[in-house]
Structure 1
Amino acid sequence: MHEEFGLSGADYTILAELTRVPGGQLRMLEFARTLGWEKSRLSHQLTRMAKRGLVERIECADDRRGAYVAVTGEGREAITAAAPRHVDDVRRLFIDHLTPGQITLLAEISDLVLERIDATG
């Protein structure tokens, strides 16, 4: 990913999440929770990405302590270019090695884990 598209795993994770949400932006604290990252880790990563034009920070008009992070046009282009390769890699390295029954079981386990995470916040 890094050599071909200039994106680290963390870059890809952030861009993928931002491009999934309506409007392409999230509040910093909510984003850190969504990723399961400490706020300082997210802040450092976003600073590096902002310098490269992939994301931007937007001050929250109604809460001076809050800020949003938003994907830029350049960030959207980067994730759009890298996503097909990422999907191919996941399929080649992971999915293609599982039987249909294992994939079904994996989906059931993932659903259970996600339900538990949602229930506990």
Structure 2
Amino acid sequence: MTERKGRTALTRTELDSWRVFIETTEDLRSALAGRLQSDSGISTGDYRVLLELSEAPGRRMRSSQLADAICWERSRLSHHLGRMEKRGLIRREAAAGDNRGAEAVLTEEGRDALRRSSVPHFHAIRELFLDALTPEQLAAARDVAETLRDHLAALGRAPGRG
């Protein structure tokens, strides 16, 4: 890694690399979100919540833990869970042994929605991301992402991923 402390100006190559990276990742996320919504009728936020709950013990999590796991502010998650609850995808219950906390619980409808959405979502991931890359490029993309994640963590700037 090249040290450039004290230098604030970016070279043309650095700026071009940054712009291509950020614009392409935004385009990819947007395309995947659009496909998920059109194919399955759920948002990427819904999918993240459903997936996290499906992998949690008892298919339930404290709201605060869920917010941390998906890197959302608690207020954003609370509003989102309210919308998901109205659609029957989750339900909220008082946390066992703690009247102050609440848990989000995956419903059968939520499990079904996750199952129905996963296959088309995986197809979209393959079509829009995986098929564009050689195995070597995929390994390099993972290496870059892991390096950036580790760098952010070392700076204390990476949100927790649970």
TM-score (norm 1): 0.88
CA distance 1:3–1:108, shift in 2 (3 Å): closer
Higher alpha-carbon Rg: 2
Aligned positions of 1:47-86 closer than 5 A:
47-86=82-121
Residue 61 of structure 1: how far off its partner (Å): 2.7
The CA deviation string for residues 63-115 of structure 1, in whole angstroms up to 9 with x for no partner, is 21111111100000011011000000011011110111111112223334455
CA distances 1:6-55 after superposition (whole Å, capped 9, x unpaired) = 21121111111111222211111111111110001000000000011100
Unaligned runs of 5+ in 1: none
Give RMSD over aligned pairs. Answer: 1.9
- Secondary structure of the residue aligned to 1:36 is coil
Shift in alpha-carbon separation, 1:3–1:68, aligned structure 2, 3 A: same
- For 2:43, the aligned partner's letter is S
Question: What is the one-letter code of the residue matched to 1:60?
Answer: A
Task: Compute the TM-score of the two structures, normalised by the length of structure 2.
Answer: 0.67
After TM superposition, the structure 1 = structure 2 runs for residues 1-121 of structure 1, keeping only pairs within 5 Å, are 1-115=36-150, 120=156
What is the one-letter code of the residue matched to 2:54?
T
Number of equivalenced pairs: 121
In structure 2, the gaps of 5 or more residues are 1-35
